[in-house]
Amino acid sequence: MRTIIDPVAPIEPTDIEAELTDAVAEYYANPLGFVMFAYPWGEPGTGLEHAEGPDTWQREFLIELGEQVRQRRFNGVDPVAPIRMAVASGHGIGKSALSAWLTDWIMSTRPGAVGTVTANTFPQLQTKTWARIQEWTARCITAGWFEISGSRMKAKEAPESWHCAPQTCREENSEGFAGQHAATSTSFYIFDEASAVPDAIWEVAEGGLTDGEPMVFVFGNPTRQRGRFYKAVFGSDQHLWSHRSIDSRTSKLTNKAIIQEWIDHYGEDSDFCRVRILGLPPTASELQYIDSERVLAAQKREVETLQDEPLVAGFDASGGGEAWNVCRFRCGLDARSIPAVKMTGQKGRDRSLLVAMLAEVLDGWHIFPDGRRRKVAALFADAAFGSPIVERLRSMGHRNVHEVSFGSASPDNHDANYRAYMWRGMKEWLPRGAIDSDQKLEIGLTAPGYHLNRKDQLTLESKQDMVKRGEASPDDGDALALTFAQKVAPGPKAELAEEIYSSPGEGWMAG
């Protein structure tokens, strides 16, 4: 319970506010004390009625942080050495909650603090990291001091100089991390899923650690053996950081049934379990099958296609719910010019709508930037939920539609199944190809992990396992991968369109 005033003596509102301010100030160098004081642990109706406080690893982190603050003795004038703390861990140990507590502690105890919070992807940042900060700030005893929205947290007293905000970590947004200073207070950065945050962002953030009482906190699954996060926890930069690796089996917050399922399926010594459970880097170069650098480079690359290059479409059908029905296009090295056609899983429950959408894709002309038009030479559809749609399209006379069973045998013995075969082809194509900057595609390409089975065959992480660890279904990634199902023979030369048509299916984009 959070009692800071005498409940019997009458106190004016101004006295209550002054007493709260004094009470919070006592926790300047005691973040664990602040967390225990500021949130309604055990109180009914708060969402914390069954919670007693931080997990063991979170307590240890907060205690060490307090010790580092006391060691530096910041006097409000002379800058001190940055506090750098890094945590590599398995899945689900409460990193986002800790990020929220750190934000509230700094913002509440340090007038004039300025902060930036980022994560590996925009959805991770908005729906998980920043969403948890909003959730915990609403519970915090100092909630009335701040205004917080989806784009900013600011002090009502001094909104222009006392604030923090979420910022995407794409390299072109690096300026958003620059110029952050708080000479008489704390400039702070929080990186969630830091293994995938580009090195360029780390370098720019360093510029905000030069004055005042600067702090940077980085958390994540160690998905690769390189990069600044790896160096901070396991590599050459360890001496600059307070670093630790947390086995998710030791946390009271994790789902032990799923952990055991992963161990039984992948093996405790597998790279999947090393990264997702043990909080250790993979023995291979990285667990992430397609790296972010490869994807970002393909987003910027300009390519040309031959006039007889066939236009191929891939359709990933949803089983309903949050997954999307996605049709993506590729013409040789160009997977950018023709926009994807999408429909929500809920709307796609009406299969007649999906049939109409794909019939329009197959019947229509698709206009390229050079003014030439092509028809789809072949459409490959996931057989799991797309089989009845393929059957209907064929009955309508579309003979260029083909089913692909993701779990069927691969044409190449290096791959465990057909899905792995297609994804390997796509990965090998990306260093030469061009894709659009759609965030769902970027996430869908970079999210799946992989391992080698007992036959040393490539095995891609299943959609089911991805959903269990909190990732979205990689619908766009699978749709693009389907364009690599088979080689398609060159077709007639693309025709020069006499007039500009809208790309078929644009009306379906809103789903």
**E-assigned strand segments in 83-203:** 83-89, 114-119, 146-148, 153-155, 163-166, 187-192
The CA distance from 136 to 138, in Å, is: 5
Which stretches of 90-161 are DSSP H helices? 95-109, 122-123, 130-139
**Which tens digit of pLDDT belongs to each residue from 474-489?**
999 999 999 999 999 9
Beta bridge partners of 486: none
Is the pTM above the cut of 0.85?
no
292-508: same fold as 13-278?
no
Q: How many CB atoms lie within 10 A of CB 285?
A: 12
Fold of 292-508: Nucleotidyltransferase; domain 5 (3.30.420)
pLDDT at 226: 84
Residues forming a β-bridge with 118:
191
Whether 511 shows a pLDDT value over 60: the answer reads no
Distance CA 84, CA 97 (A): 18
Three-state DSSP class for residue 142: coil
> Which pLDDT value is given to residue 13?
59
Domain segments of the chain: what residues? 13-278, 292-508
Is-contact 381 317, C-beta < 8 A? yes
Q: How far apart are the first and last CA of the chain?
A: 48
Nearest to 108 by CA among 177, 50, 22: 22
Residue 419's SS3 state is helix
- pLDDT at position 14, please? 67
Averaged pLDDT, 133-141 = 97
Q: What does the pLDDT read at residue 84?
A: 98
Q: What share of the chain has pLDDT > 90, as a percent?
A: 71
| Residue 458, beta-bridge partner list | 415, 452
The pLDDT tens digits of the residues spanning 32-91 come to 999 999 999 999 999 999 999 999 999 999 999 999 999 999 999 999 999 999 999 999
State the residue for tokens 């940077």: 216
Q: What is the Cα–Cα distance from 247 to 241, expressed in whole angstroms?
A: 19
CATH superfamily of 13-278: P-loop containing nucleotide triphosphate hydrolases (3.40.50.300)
Mind listing the pLDDT tens digit for each residue in 192-215?
A: 999 989 888 999 998 889 999 999
CA-closest candidate to residue 80, choices 155, 184, 1? 184
